[in-house]
Chain A
Amino acid sequence: MNASPERITTKQRLQIQRQKMPEQNPTDRSANFEEVNLGFTEQLALLEADRCLQCKDPKCVSGCPVGVNIRTFIDLLSKGKIAEAAQSLLCDNALPAVTGRVCPQENQCEAECVRGNKGLPVGIGYLERYVADWARKHRDQLPKVEIKSTGKKVAVVGSGPAGLTAAGELAKMGHEVTIYEALHKPGGVLVYGIPEFRLPKAIVAQEVDRLRELGVKIECNVIIGRTYTLPELRERFDAIFIANGAGLPVFMNVPGENLKGVYSANEYLTRINLMAAYQFPNSDTPVLKGKRVAVVGGGNVAMDAVRTAKRLGAEAMIVYRRTADELPARAEEVHHAKDEGVTFHFLTAPVEVVGDDKRWVTGLKCIQMKLGEPDASGRARPEPVPGSEFILPCDTVVVAIGTRANPLLTATCPELKLNRHGNLVVDENGMTSLPGVFAGGDIVRGAATVILAMGDGKKAAKAIEAYFQSVLR
């Protein structure tokens, strides 16, 4: 762009290989709850940053649901200006230490990276994590955000990724934000769902503290729909953002599902993550650890559950009705699970949970499947092979086949328009059928990802700002 000679040529950039994320070795990590990925060293980060070609028209940004200015933060990082890189990243993304760990980058930013056309894309997620972790440790080196109060009050329902993101953005705009959380600890799925080994809870706590520093109030143990109704909130706030998640677990609806030893993934993970059941009796909440644990499902939640079971000492297996190619989980989670010794039963669908005379689970009766014609989702439809039933011996079953909308809040406000699944219907700005009431994340989308929820939170904050400008002027 100017006359000064480039520090590094494009040819040199192209010669650098993608740097590997250092990880705990599989044998050690499958027996502990510490983080699997250890994070880049400075040297690895700078090398990886130099792989970025600094495209004039960076495609990666369009792949990011919160629109992180990826080229800029990587450029600043590669020039050694890490504080500025952090500032740029934090300006676009309220929870970069979280997304740098849990985003499915291979389907988003990294899928668009031109380097992926020939070889491997830039490790954008790893770099995001590196910069975000630096920022967590060097908060004193980041400028304080100047906030001018607007006097407008916004309630955020739920403190998961959508709620936290919206709260951060709204607070920076100068609005007075109160988050209501139903559980006793803020973070939503980031604390009850995603395990410590993938997302340390201390990181979530730090991100929450950063919001508090911005002036966000967080009230735990408040269930909107029970402790307060939505109409009550509307009387006290100028706008509301509903992000209470898709809380209700879906069960398989097969015989034997209420036997002792059958958990929803929500219950299993909540016992372990939120209630620290893996530390029993030092923590009061127990969990059945199981000798052979069958996790039904193939998404990220199933991978979290099966890798948790492994860490609790069980022989852990995935039961999935399609093949490895259709697994919806992030590639890295599947890869980690395999390395840790998780076994996969593909083309296998449960038809019954079987138990002993004391009603403890003894196995999962399954039927073999084969792939047929593509279904509405475009994926090959699995079809049962007649007469192929068999029993997979196990003493614990974890059902991880999805969640649906929790009706607690919507039931107290019949004016809110819902779709046939009970999810909130919103317009292109994220506003519900009630003026000033916005919604995002899983309560709108059904079960999706952290980053899509965050994208909704960010979009809703902007829409709330625009709503204030137009309506409340």
Chain B
Amino acid sequence: MHTILRKQQLSPNVTRLDVLAPRIAQIRKPGQFVIVHLAENSERIPLTIADANPSAGSIALVIQAVGKSTRDLVALEPGESIRDVAGPLGHATELIDSGRALCIGGGVGTAVVHPIAQGLHERNVHVTSIIGGRSREWVIFESELKRLGDVVVCTDDGSYGRKGFVTDAAKEFLERGGIDIVYAVGPVPMMRAVANLTRPFGVRTIVSLNPVMIDGTGMCGGCRVSLGKETRFACVDGPEFDGHLVDFDELQDRLSTYREFEQQANACAAGTCRLEKQSA
């Protein structure tokens, strides 16, 4: 059992849980994830390790409540626990040893960018984080990232930081030159936009993918993504890939596979499920 040690609301639908998982806290590397299985009938869901505190034995999971499973997780209170946490899974981030990196985070993806920035900072790489959200209240991990380098905040409505998309700010940095690598994590359209932006500049761009996954160990193949003409499993070959090769259209499409089921699960949770009413 993995006890929740701390809970923090980061934005209207994003919650940070610090969860007891001593072994994982001790050995996790930037970019790695865990599979979380809340209880007997829950889904297994992959979550990137946003931070870790080896001395407290805890890892930080940042969860956007979008469906039933994620809502169940963020409903947990300190002292309650998660039945299963398996990991750390996936490859560690490919970190450069010197130079300048742009770390671009959109929405909850900012939490995934954080450990990458941590890893770069430890290697004395100059980190500029460009993070965005719809408006001020949706911006997360700003203070944590500020400890690791420069931070540029963008909001769609201009309520905080610059008005506009993260790609607008990133473009200026790329035009000025001197960027050795770009890391981008966020919604699929954002990662696609960043990859399209960096391509003409010839700057290596790493994206972290979060496709549908069950076991996280290569067994199910549900997380397959197309990289050029090759198929890769995000769980064991990734989760980070060369953004210039990823087929984002396919990724986004595959993410919609269970949309109807999600709506049904939401309806059931809200008490408006037809099936439940019929059987009641």
> Size range of the interface on A?
35 or more
Q: In residues 210-259 of chain B, which contact A (Cβ within 8 Å)?
A: 214-215, 217-222, 224, 226, 231, 233, 236, 250, 253-254, 256-258
Residues 12-35 of B contacting A (Cβ, < 8 Å) = 23-24, 27
Is there contact, CB below 8 Å, between A286 and B261? yes
* CB <8 Å contact, B89 and A286: no
Task: Give complex CA distance A266, B218 in Å.
Answer: 10
Contact status A260-B265, CB under 8 Å: no
Instruction: Report yes or no: A226 in contact with B231, Cβ–Cβ below 8 A.
Output: no
Which of the residues A228, A264, A280 comes within 8 Å of B221, measured between beta carbons? A264
Interface mask (A57-80 → B, CB under 8 Å = 1, otherwise 0): 000000000000000000000000
Interface status of B162 (Cβ within 8 A of chain A): no
- Tell me the bound Cα distance from A263 to B224 in angstroms: 10
B176: min CB distance to chain A, Å = 38
- A289 to B53 Cα, complex, angstroms: 43
- The segment from A6-14, A94-102, A269-277 found at the interface with B is A269-277
CA distance A358 to B250 in the complex (A): 11
The interface residues of chain B lying within 8 Å CB-to-CB of A183 are 86, 215
Across-interface contacts of B221 in A (CB, < 8 A)? 248-249, 251, 264, 266-267
With contacts A220-B84, A258-B231, A258-B250 taken as known, whether A406 is within 8 angstroms of B43 at the C-beta atoms is no
Contacts of A264 in B (CB 8 A): 220-222
Are B89 and A267 in contact (CB-based, < 8 A)? no
Let me know if A379 is at the binding interface, CB within 8 A. no
A381 to B146, CA, bound (A): 64
Complex Cα distance A288/B264, Å?
13
B104 to chain A, nearest CB (A): 26
Measured as residues with beta carbon below 8 angstroms from the partner, the interface class of chain B is 35 or more
Chain B residue at smallest Cβ distance from A264: B221
* B218: A residues at CB distance < 8 A: 247-248, 406-408
Instruction: Answer whether residue B42 sits at the interface, using C-beta atoms and an 8 A cutoff.
Output: yes
Query: B41 at interface (Cβ–Cβ under 8 A)?
Result: yes
Instruction: State the CA gap A220–B44 with chains docked (Å).
Output: 14
Do A282 and B41 touch across chains, with their CB atoms under 8 A apart?
yes
Give the chain A neighbours of B224 by CB distance below 8 A.
Answer: 251, 258
Taking a contact as CB atoms under 8 Å apart, the answer to whether A184 and B273 are in contact is no
Given A184-B37, A184-B83, A227-B23, A266 and B268 touching (CB < 8 A)?
Answer: no
Tell me if A286 and B87 are in contact (CB < 8 A): no
CB contact between B219 and one of A184, A247, A288 (< 8 Å): that residue: A247
Q: Tell me the minimal C-beta distance from A409 to chain B in angstroms.
A: 10
Which of B42, B69, B220, B261 has its CB near the most chain A CB atoms (within 10 A)? B220
Please name 8 further chain A to chain B contacts, defined as beta carbons within 8 Å, in addition to the given A182-B217, A280-B261, sorted by A numbering.
Answer: A223-B86, A226-B89, A227-B27, A227-B87, A249-B220, A267-B221, A276-B41, A280-B265
A-B contact pairs, 20 of them (CB 8 A): A182-B86, A183-B86, A184-B84, A221-B85, A222-B86, A223-B86, A226-B88, A227-B23, A227-B27, A227-B86, A248-B219, A248-B221, A249-B221, A258-B231, A258-B250, A264-B221, A267-B220, A281-B275, A285-B214, A407-B236
Residues in A lying within 8 Å of B, measured CB to CB: 182-184, 192, 220-223, 226-228, 247-249, 251, 257-258, 260, 263-264, 266-267, 270-271, 275-276, 279-286, 288, 358-359, 406-408
Ranked nearest first, the 9 interchain pairs of A and B with the lowest CB-CB distance are A286-B261, A267-B220, A221-B86, A184-B84, A264-B221, A284-B43, A249-B221, A247-B219, A283-B41
